[in-house]
Amino acid sequence: MTITIMVVEDEKIIANDISYSLEMLGYHVVATVAYGEDAVARASELRPDLILMDIRLKGKLDGIGAARQIQAQMDIPVVYLTAMADEQTLQRAKVTEPFGYLLKPFDDQELRITIEIALYRHKLEQKLKANERWLATTLQSIGEGVITTDPEGCINFMNPHAEALTGWSQAAALGQKAQTIFQIVDEVAQTPLKCPISKLLNGAAGPLEAAHTLLLARDGTITPIDYNVAPISSAGEPLAGTVLAFRNIRERRQLEERLAAIYQLGQELTLLHSEDVILRRVVETAANVLHLNVAGLGLVDTATNELVYRYYLGVSSQANDARFSLSDDTPHGIGAAVVRSGQAINVPDTTQEARYVAIGHMPASRSELCVPMRVAEQVIGVLDVESDEPNHFTPADQQLLQLLADQAAVALENARLYRNLQHQMQMLRGTQAQLVQSERMAALGRLVASIAHEINNPLQAIQGVLSLLDIELAGQHRQEKIEKYLEVAGTEIERIASIVHRMRDFYRPTSREQSGGAGINGYRLDQTEVLQADLPAILGSIFQLVNKKLQYHKIKVQQILADDLPLLPISPDHLKQVMLNLTLNAIDALEEEGGTIQVSATLDQATFPEGQTQTVARIEFSDSGAGMSPEVLSRLFEPLFSTKDHGSGLGLFTSYQIIQANRGQIKATSQAGQGTTFTILLPLEPAPVTG
């Protein structure tokens, strides 16, 4: 089932870019919304699986306000998108309990991991809420102690639960004052409290209830309780007596503590990707929650068809390894039986269970509880606890252990998916690097004809003077002629060397490419790269390389470069690649009828989506060709999109990624019959360097 996502972003270009990335990652974008009010309405209508919410939105309702309304009405996880925020905004955002933050700019890997973790957390919280509802229902059905009195406060009824809690039988308690039977102490101050029945009969408004109260039984047993007391009366009738209901909350407190430990573990597991650490934490929590010193976890080894206990904590707190065959003809091992059946097994007395086998060197236990761990209905392992006491494990223990097992299974699957995702991303980066390399080589290949012409001319001159030199050496041996011919040959050889040098200098891999780190989304700088690109020198080198092709197609070049243009804070090799892509595209647009390529560069001020105004270098690259249709223009920077038979569809996409990585912008405008103009805005402050 495809995961649906709604994007709330008021910058259309960023929203489209995020939506495109999400679709490429396999998600389905059901809507892109620019205003907070619309986000609330569309979320109610579409019910997406997740919402990517920009904190800063135009309009009356910002992203935080919209998220608050959505969470009040719907159970939809929200991940905030933000470039920067002040402390007050962050505090407001934290109150809404988002499922993650993405700091702009971010790459596809960060986007996918954040989404997967947010969805996992949401699924886990839903499961926890369901289990909490189940536990709440269980607690509500637990019997309560009930005492009733007459108008004077003398006891006239006690149920069995009240007898058990107070230590008084009903027969002994009948006619006794309530404060004699129901003695309570303040749990915090450890001081006696007045009986609530006496307080009610003395005029206190009812019903009365209290927490943090200890009940002192007849035999001295102290029990933490909750209670409430109310008058027994009918409208217009005198007081008929009182009713006191109270309950032992010791088990509830233990359950609350256990749930808190499980919930804390669930939060911790969302951040873990190491299988060993996950297994260790789950086993430790199982032992602590059920107050045991023996807990184990076994995983199915599909290669050997065995159940392998990876961790087993005992009184020595040391790990023990054990293997159990999962073959049908092997009856031993409760864990193996759980894997085969897919059902939990609670063994009240191991001495009466033929399948019971002690683990490793552990002493035999008297009772055992084992539950399955499942991923997509497939049992991947078991969570196992044992006790020295028979009949130790209750249905509530089984529910808690199953909850832990479910968490462990999801965490292990999440860790596996994370490892696979990391591997796939590495493979993808390698493939993308090869695609970009192919694009660069293809671009250079299109220069071969021009360079061949440039090299051919000096070669012909060298051949000619060598022939003359051969004649001279066979004849008169005139020294001035020999020197003249050698000088001409040397000059032409230097000319060839200059052409080769320009070509080699143009395609010199960056240090990141040499280390295998470049890719379509990999245009970041390491600490060895120089951020000083000389635009006029780069343009001069490119136009020299394509000079023959320009002459052949009757294409003129005009350069209008500002005198105060500084060195640009971008890798020279990356800027060369962008300028070459634009140059070759312009030549393709003009090669049939000729025309003009115009390049201009000047300093300007530009406001970026984050709201900052910066000094930028504005580079405009125009051609006087036939132009492009709106349909082609809208897809111009898409990967693998090309209108040329020999095009790879990566040139402009690669250029777009390079400019984006340097915090700049690139856009194209075009009209049929009026040519195309590419505009690049490049901030003069360098992009942060990453190692």
SS3 track for 465-476? HHHHHHHHHHCC
pLDDT at residue 521, as a whole number = 45
Q: Grade residue 522 by pLDDT with cuts at 50, 70 and 90.
A: very low
Query: Which pLDDT score, from 0 to 100, does residue 346 have?
Result: 92
User: Beta-carbon neighbour count of residue 227 at 10 Å?
Assistant: 23
- Report the C-alpha gap between 27 and 20 in whole angstroms: 10
User: Which of the two residues, 210 and 44, has the higher pLDDT score?
Assistant: 44
Binned at pLDDT 50, 70 and 90, residue 453 comes out as: low
CA-CA distance, 437 to 542, in Å (whole number)? 18
* Buried b / exposed e along 645-664 (16+ C-beta atoms within 10 A): eebbbbbbbbbbbbbbbbbb
Instruction: Determine what percent of the chain is predicted with pLDDT higher than 90.
Output: 17
- Output 412 or 517, whichever has higher pLDDT: 412
**pLDDT for the residue 454:** 58
Which CATH superfamily groups domain 4-106? Response regulator (3.40.50.2300)
Angstrom distance (rounded) from CA 56 to CA 68 = 14
Tell me if 82 sits within 8 A of 101, measured CB to CB: yes
Q: How many CB atoms lie within 10 A of CB 578?
A: 28
pLDDT over 90 at 353, yes or no: no
Dump pLDDT digits (tens) for 136-153: 454 344 478 888 899 999
Is residue 425 within a helix (H) or strand (E), and if so which, with residue range?
helix 395-445
| Residue from 552, 593, 375, 563 nearest 452 by CA | 552
Q: Is the dihedral of CA 275, 280, 281, 287 positive or negative?
A: positive
Same fold, 145-248 and 255-401: yes
- Going from N- to C-terminal start, the domains of the chain cover 4-106, 145-248, 255-401, 507-683
Higher pLDDT, residue 475 or 87:
475
Sign of CA dihedral 87, 93, 99, 104: negative
Is pLDDT at 539 greater than 80 in this prediction?
yes
Residue 491: which residues within 8 A CB-CB, separation 6 or more? none
Give the helix, strand, coil percentages of the chain, each rounded to 5.
45, 25, 35
Would the pTM of this model clear 0.85, i.e. be above it? no
The answer to whether residue 600 scores a pLDDT higher than 90 is yes
Q: How far apart are CA 552 and CA 135, in angstroms?
A: 83
| pLDDT value of position 503 | 61
Q: Residue 353, Cα to own-chain centre: how many angstroms?
A: 46
Rounded CA separation 618/326 (Å) = 69
How far is it, in rounded angstroms, from Cα 537 to Cα 397?
75
Three-state SS string over 639-657 comes to CCCCCCCCCCCCHHHHHHH
| CATH architecture designation of domain 145-248 | 2-Layer Sandwich (3.30)
| CA pair distance 36, 69, nearest whole angstrom | 10
Long-range Cβ contact pairs of 609-614 (< 8 A, separation 24 or more): 609/11, 609/13, 609/14, 609/83, 610/83, 610/84, 610/104, 611/56, 614/683, 614/684, 614/685
Model confidence pLDDT, tens digit, residues 176-206: 999 999 999 988 888 888 888 888 888 766 4
The three-class DSSP label of residue 76 is coil
Report whether pLDDT(630) > 80.
Answer: yes
Contact (Cβ atoms closer than 8 angstroms) between residue 363 and residue 292: no
What's the pLDDT score for residue 621?
Answer: 94
Average pLDDT over residues 619-631: 90
Question: Which secondary structure element, helix H or strand E, spans residue 412, and what is its range?
Answer: helix 395-445
CB-neighbour burial class of residue 236 (10 A; exposed 0-12, middle 13-18, buried 19+): exposed
φ/ψ (deg, to 5) at 620: -115, 130
CATH number, domain 255-401 = 3.30.450.40
Task: Give the residue from 375, 443, 383 showing the smallest Cα distance to 412.
Answer: 375
Mean pLDDT, the chain, whole residue set: 80
In contact, 201 and 156? CB cutoff 8 Å: no
* Residue-level pLDDT at 447: 57
Q: Which residue has the higher pLDDT, 396 or 270?
A: 396
Mean of pLDDT values over 470-494: 80
pLDDT confidence band for 283 (50 / 70 / 90): confident
Reply yes or no on whether the pLDDT at 518 is more than 50: no
523, pLDDT greater than 80: no
Are the C-beta atoms of 265 and 282 separated by less than 8 Å? Answer: yes
Does the pLDDT value for residue 649 go beyond 70? no
pLDDT, residue 648, reads: 56
Query: What is the C-alpha end-to-end distance of the chain, expressed in Å?
Result: 38
By C-alpha distance, which of 414, 499, 419, 425 is closest to 455?
499
β pairing state of 4-8 and 50-54: parallel
Q: Are 324 and 340 in contact (CB under 8 A)?
A: no
Place of tokens 């075009």: 670
**Cα dihedral 385, 386, 387, 391 sign:** positive
Extract the tokens encoding 19: 């939506």
pLDDT tier at 517 (50, 70, 90 boundaries)? very low
Dmax (CA) for the chain in angstroms is: 150
Tell me how crowded residue 60 is: count the other CB atoms within 10 A of its CB: 9
361-417 pLDDT tens trace: 667 788 888 999 888 888 988 888 888 888 888 888 888 888 888 888 888 888 788
- Amino acid at the residue 448: V
CA proximity to 403, closest of 266, 533, 538 = 266
Q: Does domain 507-683 have CATH number 3.40.50.300?
A: no
Q: Is the peptide bond before 348 cis (omega within 30 degrees of 0)?
A: no
Residues in CB range of 282: below 8 A, 6 or more apart: 265, 269, 297, 383, 404, 407, 408, 411
Higher pLDDT, 536 or 467: 536
Answer yes or no: is pLDDT of 160 > 50: yes
Contact 664, 680 (CB under 8 A): yes
